[in-house]
Chain A
């Protein structure tokens, strides 16, 4: 069964450093999403991505974040100048279509620890 994959599973970084989180969505999916989950808290929407551009974003998604699709399959989330409060699980998800009725499939997440 196709699945969303994410690497690394755990990233430890020093405050102020840049990190890149990677995601490989399901191959025939066209819509992509990133979420964040601070330990013990609910999953929070960061942004959605379609047709090589961000289609929607939350207030969490500020200039510290950037996203790229370096090739047709990989998808990266870059966090510049990380802060302690960026420590969280970051989930990538993808769906075939963008309507709210279309199931999003989540990856296993990357745990980011900022020291």
Chain B
């Protein structure tokens, strides 16, 4: 069936480095995606979204790239900080919000 999935379960980066978290999706009709951050003991928190008519969207220190040809999303975090440590989910925001499996980002001081 249709699914949203992540490439790596854990990503460890040095504080100050850039982080890249990847996500693949299988539904070619998907037209809206959201990245969520989930800190320990908390609910998912909206980070940034992108619609299928765009291939790039930038926020504060975060950039999402969408490659519809290969059905791939990435979340880039610039100058990663300890507070960025969390699990990151991509989600296909169609009729039902369908989450991927999550990547745990660990920031080393």
Contact = CB atoms under 8 A, between A and B. Distances in A.
Contacts, number: 49
B32 A101 contact: yes
Contacts of B101: 41-42
In terms of DSSP, what is the predominant structure of the interface of chain B?
A: strand
A93 B32 contact: no
A46 to B, nearest CB: 10
A103 interface: yes
Interface size class on chain A is 20 to 34
In terms of DSSP, what is the predominant structure of the interface of chain A?
A: loop
A25 interface: no
A91 B102 CA distance: 16
Interface residues of B, number: 22
B98 to A, nearest CB: 7
B89 to A, nearest CB: 7
A106 B45 contact: yes
Interface in B67-109: 89, 93-102
Nearest to A101: B32
Contacts of A103: 34, 46, 49
A81 interface: no
A66 B32 CA distance: 30
B104 to A, nearest CB: 10
Given A42-B89, A101-B32, A91 B98 contact: no
Nearest to A100: B93
Interface of A: 4, 33, 35, 41-45, 48, 56, 58, 91, 93, 100-101, 103-109
